[in-house]
Amino acid sequence: MKQRSWMSGAVGLGVGFVLGGVMIAVVTGESVRRLMGSSAAALAGSAEPPEESDGFMAERPKKSMKSFGSANSYDDEVGSRGGGGPGAPPMPAAAPVMELAAPPEPEMEEGGATADKGGAAAAPTRAWFPETFLFEPLVVTDANGSATVPVRVPDRLTQWRVLALAHSRSGAQAGAVTSFAGTLPTYVDPVLPPFLRAGDTVRLPVQVVNTTDKAVEAALKVDVKGAQVEAGARTVRVPARGSVVELVTVKAGGAGPVTLRASLGDTDAVVRDFDVWATGQPVVQTRGGSLAAPRTLSLVGPADAQVGSERVRLQVYPGALGMVRAELAAVERRPVDVAGDAYALLLAGQAPELLKSLGETADPAALKALSLVATQRVLRAARAPSIEVATRLAEGALAHPDNPVLARLGERLVAQVAQAQRPDGTCQGGDGWTLQRLLVATANCARTVRAAQGTPEGKQRASAFTVRASGVFERYLPQVKDGYTAAVLLAEGSAEGGVADALRTRVREALKTGTDGTAWLPVEPDTVRADGEMPSEAEATAMAVLALQGDAKAPLADLGAWLLAHYTPGLGWGDGQANRVGLRAALALFKDPLPAQVRVSVARDGQVVTEGTYDTKALREVLALEAAAPGSAGSHTWTVRAEPAVPGLGFSLALSAAVPWKSEVKGGLQLAVTGPKEARVGQLTNVRVQVGAPSSLPLRFQQELPAGVQVDPASLAALVASGQVSSWDVQDGALSLDLSPREQGALVQVEFRVLPTLAGTLQAGAARLGVPGRPDITASLPPTTWAVR
């Protein structure tokens, strides 16, 4: 860049270490412009150029909302959450692990510059604005202790700081800091909001800065794609070492992405993006399934969807490998109970072989740490275990044959379970037990005893136990009425021959099929597990998958699709028992490795709406495809397809739109919101909320704010201090207040202050009052319009 965008440079570091290692990080000194910094100056019409911060590896200030004056759309969105303050202490920005990829160069004419519509030379365009663009954890110096790292400098005009930390082979350490400036003689800086709402008419500040010693007169042009711009072209004169602010009117019609390009003659041009949000009530339809075959779904879009609000989003979830990785990451953080601890120990023991079979390498240190924690918990639970606890713990202990303590524990627990079998072949039981629970408990015991067949004695023990248990299942077959119990006897017990055929038939007959083509196994009332708890549908469906393995009549792909769609990273399928069975089912269904490349597409009525091609590495993470879907009103046929078909990938397809809000009152709530009568940029103004509701209800108020309107944290802190509000949450475009308990029949009135930073006619979104978890108790008000001068 003549010291401009795409400047290629080199940083030479000589730190006095021969054949040593150097770590280099480059960050911007202008980590984020504060609300009352250059953005506010631009809004107020100040002619002073923005100051450049000289902070080194500075922490970004914690903000209640993203500043209207954020330097670009890539700035982090930081929310505030608290019980009376602006939020948690600032957190340092995470450093990237590699040089961030730069966008492609703008298309150039033969003369070397982009051409505008009139054929004249246009300014090179700046469009890449990261705050940290280089992190090199290992740079080896030469014999003189020097290293050169060529880098591409981003388009952000700021002071860049370079940190180098070095060490020698002998262990000596040192560091160095240097800086360089990315700037232009004259440049244009549009100050953009993170979003607008459909129907907004705003006056956007465009700052023109002159760093030279002579006055500059040049053509300023602002073009907008996705919205309308008025008087976007003009001539500006900027004094030497000064700046001017020009206001450009932009009208946002419908929802969707907006791209703004501001150019200053042939010296500088900037491209930045933001979104226009719909003001209507969101309506979302979601379908899930497996990519084992093309899936055809019927979705009905709302007839009154607002212009630009119809969108389709496809998320693709990894199969067995992704679930194993997710479970390893989450299992230790889950609530402590016997089933969860037993599952964690089992997973830690089986993970190396599972990952190897799926083409992944295990992390020995992480597995060792997980095994240690799970072992300590299991040993406490195994001091005097009941038979039911022994059936949970034994398999996990036996998964660690190299650990003599766990191996002996596993053998002891299995022996305890085997000895508990009654002469009639049943296992466990007690006062008040139903036959259904007893049969499930006997099947669990059979699985436990079969887990220890590594010795002749173990094989003999398992064989004897299985024979007696099989007699129980055959004897009571006519009493097995529900699908869950039949599935457990097949998956965990030892049913064979005609008994197994009859049980498979009962499982298949009990399956339900959804409108999206997925299948699941419902749980009948009064059906329980061996521990007396009612199983979830996820656990029952996983049992059905295991029970129907090898059954040509079973809809295994549809069951797997339902199971994938009901998996939640971090939570899994439920408790430890459900997760143990769920993971076994997922591994049984999706054990085949992923193909080298997969093309995924979404089509509406045969026409492709969005598609993407991914390699094996990408398919190990959750992927997302999203596109505008205008014309989706009414009933349409949607097809999700993977080429080649991959049973191990699940998907979730969501069709969303926004429809006009209507005033709504349910459950006796009352809500009134009074906005400012007259608002001015840079001046605090009040918003009043009046609420009426029964005193026993925990209420939450939510207000979607106009673009560029910031909430004053001090006014929220005052509400908490007065006891009117218990907590609050502020994010881009939205405020949430949790209201404190009220006296019977008393109306509640709270006030908070807001700071407009954007002039124009702005749409405030809907206001809502409700009780968390109770959609039948709610009140809402439609969007309103604010006039800000």
pLDDT at 25: 63
Q: Which long-range contacts (CB under 8 A, 24 or more apart) does 404-407 make?
A: 405/375, 405/379, 406/345, 406/375, 406/378
Say whether pLDDT at 608 is over 80. yes
Which residues are bridge partners to 24 per DSSP?
A: 136, 164
Confidence of residue 649 (pLDDT cuts 50, 70, 90): confident
Instruction: Report CA torsion sign: 679, 681, 685, 689.
Output: positive
pLDDT at 123: 65
- Rounded Cα–Cα distance for residues 224 and 206 (Å): 13
- Rounded Cα–Cα distance for residues 657 and 628 (Å): 10
- Rounded Cα–Cα distance for residues 393 and 343 (Å): 8
Cα–Cα–Cα angle for 755, 130, 188, rounded to 5 degrees: 65
Per-residue pLDDT of 133-164, as tens digits, reads: 788 878 888 888 888 888 888 888 888 888 88
> According to the 3-state scheme, what is the secondary structure of 287-351?
EEEEECCCEEEEEEECCCCCCCCCEEEEEEECCHHHHHHHHHHHHHHCCCCHHHHHHHHHHHHHH
More confident residue, 464 or 120: 464
Backbone angles phi, psi at 380, to 5 degrees: -65, -40
Highest mean pLDDT of the ranges 285-294, 685-694, 770-779:
685-694
Task: Pick the range with the lowest mean pLDDT from 36-50, 188-202, 401-415.
Answer: 36-50
SS3 426: coil
pLDDT at 568: 77
Longest dimension (CA), the chain: 103
Residue 153 near residue 160 (C-beta atoms within 8 A):
yes
Residue 206 near residue 222 (C-beta atoms within 8 A):
yes
Say whether pLDDT at 348 is over 80. yes
pLDDT at 22: 57
Which residues are bridge partners to 289 per DSSP?
A: 651
Q: Kindly report the average pLDDT of the chain as a whole number.
A: 81
Confidence of residue 500 (pLDDT cuts 50, 70, 90): very high
Say whether pLDDT at 31 is over 50. no
> Is the backbone of residue 6 left (phi > 0), alpha (psi -120 to 50) or beta?
left
Q: What is the mean pLDDT of residues 374-392?
A: 91
Say whether pLDDT at 77 is over 70. no
More confident residue, 337 or 226: 226
- Rounded Cα–Cα distance for residues 645 and 731 (Å): 40
Per-residue pLDDT of 678-689, as tens digits, reads: 899 999 999 999
Q: What is the mean pLDDT of residues 671-682?
A: 90
Say whether pLDDT at 106 is over 90. no
The pair of structure tokens assigned to 697 is 């209800």
Confidence of residue 764 (pLDDT cuts 50, 70, 90): very high
Cβ-proximal residues to 49 (8 Å cutoff; 6+ apart), any chain: 209, 211, 241, 242, 243
Say whether pLDDT at 93 is over 60. no
Backbone angles phi, psi at 124, to 5 degrees: -60, 140
Q: What is the mean pLDDT of residues 228-248?
A: 93
Say whether pLDDT at 563 is over 90. no
Confidence of residue 745 (pLDDT cuts 50, 70, 90): low
Per-residue pLDDT of 399-457, as tens digits, reads: 999 999 999 999 999 999 999 999 999 999 888 899 999 999 999 999 999 999 989 99
Q: What is the mean pLDDT of residues 670-675?
A: 91
CA contacts within 13 A on the Cβ side of 95: 14
Say whether pLDDT at 75 is over 90. no
Say whether pLDDT at 65 is over 70. no
| DSSP code at position 530 | T
Confidence of residue 28 (pLDDT cuts 50, 70, 90): low
Strand order in the sheet with 597-604: 295-301, 634-643, 597-604, 607-615
**Chain centre distance of CA 647:** 23
More confident residue, 468 or 572: 468
Say whether pLDDT at 95 is over 80. no
Q: In the chain, pLDDT over 90 holds for what percent of residues?
A: 48
- Rounded Cα–Cα distance for residues 263 and 208 (Å): 10
Q: In the chain, pLDDT over 70 holds for what percent of residues?
A: 83
Q: What is the mean pLDDT of residues 51-61?
A: 33
